[in-house]
Amino acid sequence: MINFQKLWDKSGTKDDEYARQYPQYIKTNEKLVSLVDVRPGQVIVDLACGTWMTTEAVLKTCPNVRKVYAVDFSEDMLRVAKTRIKAENVAFIHADATDLVGHFPEKVDLALCNSSFWQFDDRSAIIRAIRTVLKDGGIFVFNLNQQFYDFGAPEANQKVIIDAIYEEMRKRGFEVTGGLKEKMTKEEIEELFASAGFTLAKTARYDVGPRSLDDFLNFFTIPATATFFEKVPERAARNPEHSP
Ligand SMILES: C[S@@+](CC[C@H](N)C(=O)[O-])C[C@H]1O[C@@H](n2cnc3c(N)ncnc32)[C@H](O)[C@@H]1O
C-alpha cells in the first residue's frame, strides 16, 4: 500500500510551484469558499490544507474571520504553507485528519476541504472527527473530482488523459497501480455522512475547464500525484520504447 504521507512529505515545493502556476487549485478553492457564507468572527478548519490555498481563499473573501486552523499531516506541506501565510488569525496544525480532537481549543463554525477528500483512506473516521469539532449547526464543505465521482457529465479531459496513460502502460507490460480510489456514489456519500449525524444541505457541480497537456506534465512532477508510475523504473519513464 502506498504511503501517501511520505510522498506528501516530499511534495511541498513542487506542489506549491504547480498550484501557483496552473489554475486548478486556485479555481477549485475559489468555488469551494464561494459555496459557504464566510463571515467575520467565524472559526474555520482548513482540512488537508496543503501549502496554503484554501486558507488564502478564505482570507481573501473575509480577512476578519476569528481563526483558521489549517491542518495537514505533512510537515513539508506545512513548512511551505508557513512561508506563504503570516496572518495572526491562522494557526497551522500538524495532525492526521482522523485525529482532530484536542488540537483546537474551541469548536468551529466551518470545515473546508479542497481537492483532498477522495484521497483519505479512512473517510468514516475523518467524518466522525470533523463532526466532533464542529459546533451544532456547523458546516462541512468539500469537493470531489470526476475521477472519483460520477457527475453524469461528459468525461473531463483529465480522465481521458489518465485513461490513455493507463492504456499505454498496460500495452508496454507495466503494472498499473497507483492507489487510485474507486468512484463514490451519491448514496455512499450520504450514508457515510448520515452515520456521523450530518445531513446533506447542498450540492453544486462546477467545471474548472479543460487542463492543458503542459498543466498535466507539471502536475505529474509532484511526487504525491504521480503514484501510478510507481512500478515504472526511471529509465523506462524517460524512454518511450522501453518495456519491463
Ligand atoms: C492536493 S493537496 C490539497 C491541498 C489544499 N487543500 C489546496 O487546496 O491547495 C492534499 C493535501 O492533503 C493532505 N492529506 C492527505 N491525507 C491527509 C490526512 N489523512 N490528514 C491530513 N492531511 C492529509 C496532504 O498532505 C496534502 O497536503
* pLDDT tens digits, one per residue of 98-155: 999 999 999 999 999 999 998 898 999 999 999 999 999 999 999 998 777 777 776 7
Ligand 1 mean position, distance from CA 54 (Å): 11
Say if 132 falls within a structural domain: yes
pLDDT(243) > 70: no
Within 10 angstroms of residue 229's Cβ, the number of other Cβ atoms is 18
Answer whether residue 160 is part of any domain: no
Three-state DSSP class for residue 153: coil
Within a domain: residue 228? no
Q: Which ligand 1 atom minimizes the distance to the CA of 225?
A: 1
Domain count, the chain: 1
| 178 Cβ contact partners less than 8 Å away, ≥ 6 residues apart | 2, 227, 228, 229, 230
Does any ligand 1 atom lie closer than 6 A to the CB of residue 72? yes
Mutate to test the pocket of ligand 1, among 20, 25, 73, 140 (most ligand atoms within 8 A of CB): 73
The domain that holds 96 is classified in CATH as 3.40.50.150
Residue environment code for 128-151, b if the CB has 16+ CB neighbours within 10 A, otherwise e: bbbbebbeeebbbbbbbbbeebee
Atom of ligand 1 nearest to the CA of 29: 8
Question: What region, left, alpha or beta, does residue 102 occupy, with left being phi > 0 and alpha being psi -120 to 50 degrees?
Answer: left
**Residue whose C-alpha is closest to residue 119's, from 222, 205, 206, 18:** 222
- What's the pLDDT score for residue 81? 96
Position 239 scores a pLDDT of 67
What confidence score (pLDDT) does residue 119 get?
86
Residue 52 has a pLDDT of 85
Provide the pLDDT confidence category of residue 12 given band limits of 50, 70 and 90: very high
Q: Specify if 226 maps to a domain.
A: no
**Which residue's CA lies nearest to atom 27 of ligand 1?**
50
Substitution candidate for ligand 1 out of 44, 119, 130, 220 with most atoms within 8 A of CB: 119
Rounded to an integer, what distance in angstroms lies between the CA atom of residue 219 and that of residue 223? Answer: 9
CA of 116 to the centre of ligand 1 (A): 5
Mean pLDDT of 217-224: 88
Asked, for residue 135, whether it belongs to a domain, the answer is yes
Q: Which of 92, 84, 90 has the alpha carbon at shortest distance from 13?
A: 84
Percent of the chain surpassing pLDDT 70: 91
pTM: 0.91
Average pLDDT in the 14-33 region?
94
Q: Whose C-alpha lies nearest to ligand 1, atom 9? A: 53
Task: Answer yes or no: is the C-beta of 49 below 6 A from any ligand 1 atom.
Answer: yes
In a domain, 11, yes or no: yes
33 lines ligand 1 (CB under 6 A): no
Q: Which residues form the domain of 136?
A: 4-152+182-209
Question: Which pLDDT does position 206 carry in this prediction?
Answer: 85
Band (240; pLDDT cuts 50, 70, 90): low
- Report if residue 238 sits inside a domain: no
* Mean pLDDT over the full length of the chain: 88
Give per-residue pLDDT as tens, 152-181: 776 777 777 778 888 888 888 887 765 566
A 10 A CB-CB count for 90 gives 23
